[in-house]
Amino acid sequence: MSTPSVNRPSGRSPNQLRPVSITRSFTKHAEGSVLISFGDTKVLCTASVLEKVPPHKKGSGEGWVTAEYGMLPRSTHTRSDREAARGKQTGRTQEIQRLIGRALRSVFNLAALGERTIHLDCDVLQADGGTRTAAITGAYIAARDAVNGLLKSGALNKDPIIDSVAAISVGIYEGVPVLDLDYPEDSSCDTDMNVVMTGKGGMIELQGTAEGAAFSREELNSLLNLAEQGIQELTALQIDALKVSTLH
Amino acid sequence: MSTPSVNRPSGRSPNQLRPVSITRSFTKHAEGSVLISFGDTKVLCTASVLEKVPPHKKGSGEGWVTAEYGMLPRSTHTRSDREAARGKQTGRTQEIQRLIGRALRSVFNLAALGERTIHLDCDVLQADGGTRTAAITGAYIAARDAVNGLLKSGALNKDPIIDSVAAISVGIYEGVPVLDLDYPEDSSCDTDMNVVMTGKGGMIELQGTAEGAAFSREELNSLLNLAEQGIQELTALQIDALKVSTLH
Amino acid sequence: MSTPSVNRPSGRSPNQLRPVSITRSFTKHAEGSVLISFGDTKVLCTASVLEKVPPHKKGSGEGWVTAEYGMLPRSTHTRSDREAARGKQTGRTQEIQRLIGRALRSVFNLAALGERTIHLDCDVLQADGGTRTAAITGAYIAARDAVNGLLKSGALNKDPIIDSVAAISVGIYEGVPVLDLDYPEDSSCDTDMNVVMTGKGGMIELQGTAEGAAFSREELNSLLNLAEQGIQELTALQIDALKVSTLH
Amino acid sequence: MSTPSVNRPSGRSPNQLRPVSITRSFTKHAEGSVLISFGDTKVLCTASVLEKVPPHKKGSGEGWVTAEYGMLPRSTHTRSDREAARGKQTGRTQEIQRLIGRALRSVFNLAALGERTIHLDCDVLQADGGTRTAAITGAYIAARDAVNGLLKSGALNKDPIIDSVAAISVGIYEGVPVLDLDYPEDSSCDTDMNVVMTGKGGMIELQGTAEGAAFSREELNSLLNLAEQGIQELTALQIDALKVSTLH
Amino acid sequence: MSTPSVNRPSGRSPNQLRPVSITRSFTKHAEGSVLISFGDTKVLCTASVLEKVPPHKKGSGEGWVTAEYGMLPRSTHTRSDREAARGKQTGRTQEIQRLIGRALRSVFNLAALGERTIHLDCDVLQADGGTRTAAITGAYIAARDAVNGLLKSGALNKDPIIDSVAAISVGIYEGVPVLDLDYPEDSSCDTDMNVVMTGKGGMIELQGTAEGAAFSREELNSLLNLAEQGIQELTALQIDALKVSTLH
Amino acid sequence: MSTPSVNRPSGRSPNQLRPVSITRSFTKHAEGSVLISFGDTKVLCTASVLEKVPPHKKGSGEGWVTAEYGMLPRSTHTRSDREAARGKQTGRTQEIQRLIGRALRSVFNLAALGERTIHLDCDVLQADGGTRTAAITGAYIAARDAVNGLLKSGALNKDPIIDSVAAISVGIYEGVPVLDLDYPEDSSCDTDMNVVMTGKGGMIELQGTAEGAAFSREELNSLLNLAEQGIQELTALQIDALKVSTLH
């Protein structure tokens, strides 16, 4: 793909990801704990193994994978209200945590997991665009670490994870499709799309929204090409990160 | 497009919409009031004109368009809890009402609307799959009626609506892309996608989810072709419905 | 009773009901589903059969009958807040749904119902005064249809319903007792009373409130005479409506 | 009225009130503070003068009278949940506080009160049936004391109270109409009615409910006769209590 | 200790408690019911015996002691919002009820109590400073009465209460340490400390806060000396109050 | 002070703090952002400058300092419920955030701050005992950085901070007073005390609780001696940390 020219605020080329960093075992209590950065966006993803399942799975022999998402009040440019103090989660928060849960479930064989829950908590320490895509990409590694612990301890003897999963945003900035929007780009782009794909290249979730002008099938195809490339790079980074042995 | 063969529970061919019916002025108080049916799915969409705007628009000279969504407790096969009694809206409800709001705002020139709000209420009287797509399609007509009232009364002298908008679901049922999923199809299909487009053919929102298996770019393209065709039919039905003069 | 002369906004004579219409099987999922209109007041009453009882009835061998009430946000002249969005039901809503529940329980033999619940949902699609009386009158028919289903299927072999029940409002408008207040009458009348009676003529509930001036025993008696007559008419209409066979 | 014979658990005759005691200035901060007992039912009624009105009265030149009601958790035989801890008031609580508010407003000239609020708090210290009727009867005295303070200080120079108000319960116990039900009577009586009347004998509110069997017009008339007599006695007790000067 | 000279608003000497009055069996339903006054501060403390324990004690063989606290809306100089109406308890309320619970648990042998709960409700009828200290001091007597009932009935044959407990406030008013702050003193003192001690003289809880200026170790010691003396006086008053036999 | 011998689980001597680390500018958006560790306890403290004050300070010319506290769900050994999902903050959370707010306000001259708010958010990333003391100690540095920014920008020309503040826990472990309890020590110690002091050595807040056995004045004095020493060390560490220039 020839990359068209555009002046991104970040100075990146249209198909360039932000620097990604992945720190496993960032905190010590969780069965999986990953600090992931997409540039200045930093999300702490923990995976907790709970030996229980929600009511709709009780007695089914199957497990469950679910997620919660939150932003620290001053992870953003101006302070946001603390959701715990307001007494409820915003619609945006609920939308995102439902997305993360669906994305992670898509790579799990719930029967092989047995009647337990992998509970993913994705907390944004610093926000600069793309918090949900960083959360999904990091939550996979945390889930992988938690499941590895279950395999090592003998609680599981068959791997319930059937593929890896990662996510990236794409958008049309000043008429040009670009990869991995940061906050200044996200605020001023016309179309914003989040794409979730597996390591094997299957599409899991697609959420595209025209912010200003409607978009065409042609633009959609360009965006999806960019997203596919980005996900392949993220998948490689996930594999690399998981190669390192940790003390956990 | 050659339509592949599949035994849909409804007996419809893959690219066939359910019968659509649109009743304007269904209730008498709202500035726009539309009962829309996609088969057995029945949604009452009302548009209220409020001479105020939310805080983030105060003093901006611009108006606002927003939506709320609800299901009557026994609109579904088994009774669901009443959200007002439980004391909060589910994440699903919030996701849907945010989607309806964005879809309708995409065809409004908020500056031309002036500092007033078009508040859309979409209440499901009977559910059989596709409630959000019926809601968007009907809400457009209710909004159109409400704005026509403002134009007729002289409150507005320039039309703030710049295009029409409609929505439809598509999915992969037993390996075949099909249009406008009803509840039995929705429950057992592999991929489920909601598509929002304008009358002029621009894409506004795309939400695709792999329920069982991941989907490919090729499948995505087939689904989008189906959706485009369905939206064109819905757009024609909207135009027809709005031709009828009502006593309202 | 000689009917005194008064200019009701509706043009009705003092002892005249609004036109009543009753549509059974209005929606398809509920075991009973009735759309009832008292003039421009339209309430959808559904009866759901739940094979469980609330905690205070568990193990008692008895069933339960309960009701919930809601108004669609734009069922009223000006849009009201959606209770699900505000996060709680108003005192008025709770008062009305408790009244409907008591009224319906009064004609049920709970022991004969067995350990199951008839859950009535009364949702106001359009409000023009008298929503609670229409709700009770319609809910009886929905309950009757639901119980008929249980009898037909053999789940019950003895009818747990011991009488019919209906309700009507009466008030003093410009000094004259009148029957079945619509919204303009209700807003400007001095005394407002809701009366619930059984088909056999027993009084179940009486709620009278002096809005402006206190009322006398004599006025009370005139109001009760009017209410008795109105309930008799409603009872006849209920019987007629139930004679029609439906496909449900 | 010849009083029929019945064995009330309390040993009272059918038309006999429980002993009533009224203590003014029971607490020191409120502008009116009355501890009222109907037998073992003890309610603390305070009247607070607030120099503001709710939004719907702002700028109207009129005042407002409103009430709140609560039961201490162990005012009852078995401990009830604390409403503040549960996070919401029950439907019963809301029904009662709305009733108290309407009853008190019925004897106020809101225009003469000016743009201020009389806020009545009725808190049940000990419950033994009839808490709402004791609350209304005591709240009137608290309101009277608060208004007397406004007249004495010159904040008001015309009395906004146009009549007194009191309330009593009546019911059919073992087939006999009886006055002022205590808890054991209330639990086992067939019909339960609360009556609110002014000192001049006008009816303000009537709430009758058939608990077991429906009731007839004849029974209703007997109950109302009893209630009228009881209210007259309570009115005399209110007058007596207000004759005593307090240090407040 | 020589008592330094200070002009307390109350005219009391620095080490002088307000008059304390204790009325047992103030209400009739609770297993223990104590109205305690520290001057104009009046708190109703009830102890309820519940034959169940919270989840974390189920199956442990041990009991639980817990407390709830509330203020009647007009117990204060100006009316406070009713917490039940606002839908949540303030942080101050929660802090106080947690303190009361800890204080009472400190004198209980939970194993000897068996799997039951002593639930203390402390409701402020009139506030004039020191409501939490009066609540703890009165709750002990209510708990003692409730436990005596269990011993008398044979439900318990070993006393689970191992010591008495009382509480008092101390503060630095115009530079002088003073005992038992009333509201005017509390509002203008520099340091405010609440001290909870057992009858045997052990310290249970110490909560000191510098309101204006920081305080020194020397000042702290003077305050603790005062508090010890006050608690000894309260302990003697508790013993006296419990000597009286009640009809309860 | 001769340090008695005890086998702390951590191997520390009785008067030894855990290693403390302080990272300023940990996140980029907040006006002050400090990650502080007391051993394995890690708290992110941010200070936000808001150009508004709460209602009770409006028009006073004075500013405000307040705090909120939260724990990430998996900061603890076993996952805790997310407070935002549960819809309310626990009593413990409210107690701690009120303590942090009071502690920080004690070193501010609110008049010199002007009508603005310093909002401190203390979020626990990893918990191992002493989260509230770490939060206060870190929040001071964050507040200092935020105020330095206001002084540098000229928004303030007089420093509103009048002293530094820090906090530490002390307790009696196996009969020996020890400094800075970690989680295993905190869980099994008899008395637990949190002490807040200023850099100049004034006491700000003292919260001591007997967990198992009551404590004596002598033990209290030993604990306070330890706390004073610990606070002096923390004060020195705060000064060192603030000497480093940051890029922020």
* Residue B211: predicted pLDDT: 80
What is the DSSP secondary structure assignment for residue C55, as one 8-state letter?
G
- B175-205 per-position pLDDT tens digit: 999 999 999 999 888 899 999 999 999 999 9
Contact F190, F150 (CB under 8 A): no
**CA-based nearest distance D217→chain E, Å:** 38
Which ranges of chain C does DSSP label H, i.e. alpha helix?
83-86, 91-105, 110-113, 131-153, 183-188, 217-243
pLDDT at position A92 over 90: yes
Residue C86 forms contact with D (CB below 8 Å): no
pLDDT band at residue A181 under the 50/70/90 scheme: very high
Distance CA A123, CA A96 (A): 12
Tell me, yes or no, if B77 comes closer than 8 A to chain C by beta carbon.
yes
> Nearest C-alpha of chain E: how many angstroms from D218?
38
User: Could you read off the pLDDT of D111-135 as tens digits, one per residue?
Assistant: 999 999 999 999 999 999 999 999 9
Q: Who's near F172: CB < 8 A, 6+ residues apart?
A: F178, F189, F190, F191, F215, F219, F223
Which tokens go with B171?
């999915």
Contacting residues of C for B89, CB less than 8 Å apart:
84-85
Nearest CA-CA distance, residue C150 and chain B, Å: 16
- CB contacts of D220 in chain C (<8 Å) are 203, 206, 224
> What is the average pLDDT value for chain F, to the nearest integer?
95
Binding residues of A for phosphate: 92, 130-132
Q: Judging by beta carbons within 10 Å of its beta carbon (0-12, 13-18, 19+), is residue F215 exposed, middle or buried?
A: buried
Q: Do F68 and A85 touch (CB under 8 A)?
A: yes
Mean pLDDT score of chain E: 95
Nearest CA in chain D to C201: D216
**Rounded distance, CA C44 to CA C121, Å?**
8
User: Is E1 a residue whose pLDDT tops 70?
Assistant: no
Q: What is the pLDDT of residue B2?
A: 53
Q: B70, C82: Cβ pair inside 8 Å?
A: yes
Q: Taking CB atoms and an 8 Å cutoff, what residues of chain A touch B95?
A: 91, 94-95, 98
**Separation in Å, CA of E92 to nearest CA in chain D:** 13
Contacts of E200 in chain F (CB under 8 A): 214
pLDDT higher than threshold 80 for residue C5: no
Mean pLDDT of chain A: 95
In the predicted structure, residue F30 carries a pLDDT above the cut 70: yes
pLDDT confidence band for D3 (50 / 70 / 90): low
pLDDT for the residue E3: 54
CA distances from C96 to C191, D91, E243 (A): 18, 10, 52
ipTM confidence = 0.94
Record: contact D121-E82, CB cut-off 8 A: yes
pLDDT of residue C248: 45
93-112 in B: which are within 8 Å (CB) of A? 94-95, 97-98, 102, 106
Kindly state whether E40 is in contact with chain D, defined as any CB-CB distance less than 8 angstroms: yes
Lowest mean pLDDT segment, chosen from C120-124, E8-12, E39-43, F96-100:
E8-12
Check pLDDT > 60 for residue A248.
Answer: no
The whole-angstrom separation of Cα C139 and Cα C149 is 15
Rounded to an integer, the average pLDDT of A192-205 is 97
Predicted local confidence at residue A188, as pLDDT: 85
Q: Is D187 on the interface with C (CB under 8 A)?
A: no
> What's the confidence (pLDDT) of residue B34?
98
- Residues whose CB falls within 8 Å of the CB of residue F227, separated by 6 or more in sequence, listed in order: F168, F170, F179, F193, F195, F197
- Judged by CB atoms closer than 8 Å, whether chains meet at C121 and B73 is answered as yes
pLDDT band at E2 (very low <50, low <70, confident <90, very high): low
Of A46, A76, A93, the CB nearest to F29: A76
Establish whether C18 is an annotated binding residue. Answer: no
Q: Are B123 and C72 inside 8 Å of each other by CB?
A: yes
E-strand ranges in chain A read: 20-24, 32-38, 41-50, 64-71, 117-126, 165-173, 176-179, 191-198, 203-210
Q: Which residues does chain D have within 8 Å of residue E76's beta carbon, measured at their own beta carbons?
A: 29
**Cα–Cα distance for residue pair F24/F35, rounded to 1 Å:** 7
- Please indicate whether, in this complex, the C-beta atoms of B88 and C83 are within 8 angstroms of each other: no
CB contact under 8 A, F91 and E94: yes
pLDDT score of E4: 65
Q: What is the Cα E128 distance to its own chain's centre?
A: 14
Beta-carbon separation of D76 and E29 below 8 A? yes
Q: Mean pLDDT throughout A68-91?
A: 95
pLDDT beyond 60 at E239:
yes
> What pLDDT score does B10 carry?
87
- F91 to chain E, any CB pair closer than 8 A? The answer is yes
CB contact (8 A) between residue F205 and residue E210? yes
* Least confident stretch, A2-6, A228-232, B54-58, E87-91: A2-6
pLDDT score recorded for residue E6: 81
- pLDDT digits 0-9 by tens, E151-183: 999 999 999 999 999 999 999 998 999 999 999
| Interface residue F80 vs chain A (CB under 8 A) | no
User: Does any CB of chain B come closer than 8 Å to the CB of residue A217?
Assistant: yes
| CA nearest to D71, candidates D16, D128, D117 | D128
Cβ B207–A204 below 8 Å, yes or no? no
Q: For residue F72, which residues of chain A lie inside 8 Å, CB to CB? A: 44, 46, 121, 123
- Total beta-carbon pairs less than 8 A apart between chain A and chain F: 91
Nearest CA in chain F to A30: F74
Which residues from chain B sit within 8 angstroms of residue A56, using beta carbons? none
Assess whether pLDDT exceeds 50 at residue F145.
yes
F180 touches F230 (CB < 8 A): yes
A216 touches B at CB < 8 Å: yes
pLDDT at residue B246 in the model: 63
Q: Is B98 annotated as contributing to ligand binding?
A: no
Binding site residue list of D: 92, 130-132
Q: Is F116 helix (H, G, I), strand (E, B) or coil?
A: coil
- Distance from C-alpha of C127 to C-alpha of C125, rounded to nearest angstrom: 7
Q: What pLDDT, on a 0 to 100 scale, did the predictor assign at position D188?
A: 85
Contacts of B224 in chain A (CB under 8 A): 217, 220
Quote helix, strand, coil % in chain E, to nearest 5: 35, 30, 40
Q: To the nearest 10°, the Cα dihedral for D138, D139, D144, D145?
A: 80
Q: Given a contact as 3+ CB pairs under 8 Å, which chains touch B?
A: A, C
Q: How far is D247 from chain C (nearest CA, A)?
A: 34
Q: Collect all residues of chain D within an 8 Å Cβ-Cβ radius of residue E87.
A: 87-88
Please determine, for residue B216, whether its predicted confidence score (pLDDT) is greater than 70: yes
Chain C residues within an 8 Å CB radius of D102: 209
Contact E34, E20 (CB under 8 A): no
CB contact under 8 A, C70 and B93: no
pLDDT tens-digit readout, E60-74: 999 999 999 999 999
Which chains would you list as touching C if contact means 3+ CB atom pairs under 8 Å? B, D
- The model's pLDDT over C34-75, given as tens digits with 9 standing for 90+, comes to 999 999 999 999 999 999 999 999 999 999 999 999 999 999
Query: According to the model, what pLDDT value does residue B221 have?
Result: 96
Strand A41-50 and strand A32-38: the pairing is antiparallel
pLDDT at E5: 76
Whether the CB-CB separation of D116 and D53 falls below 8 Å is answered with: yes
Partner-chain contact A84 F79, CB within 8 Å: no
Cα–Cα distance measured from residue C37 to residue C23, given in angstroms and rounded to the nearest whole number = 9
pLDDT at B248 over 80: no
Interface D–E counts its CB contacts (< 8 A) at 92
Mean pLDDT (whole number) for F184-189:
89
Over residues A104-147, the pLDDT tens digits come to 999 999 999 999 999 999 999 999 999 999 999 999 999 999 99
| C-beta atoms of A84 and F70 within 8 A | yes
Closest CB from C88, C163, C206 relative to D206: C206
CA atoms within 13 A on the CB side of C153: 10
**Sign of torsion, CA D27 D30 D32 D35?**
negative
* Chain D neighbours, 3+ Cβ pairs < 8 A: C, E
What is the reported pLDDT for E246?
A: 63
Q: Do F209 and E204 touch (CB under 8 A)?
A: yes
How confident is the model over C206-222, as pLDDT tens digits?
Answer: 999 998 789 999 999 99
Per-residue confidence (pLDDT) for residue A127, from 0 to 100: 98
What is the Cα Rg of chain A in Å? 18
Q: Which residues of chain B make contact with A210, given a CB cutoff of 8 A?
A: 106, 202-205
The reported pTM is: 0.93
Query: E strands, chain F, where?
Result: 20-24, 32-38, 41-50, 64-71, 117-126, 165-173, 176-179, 191-198, 203-210
Q: ∠B218-B224-B227 over CA atoms, to 5°?
A: 150
Residue D248: per-residue pLDDT: 45
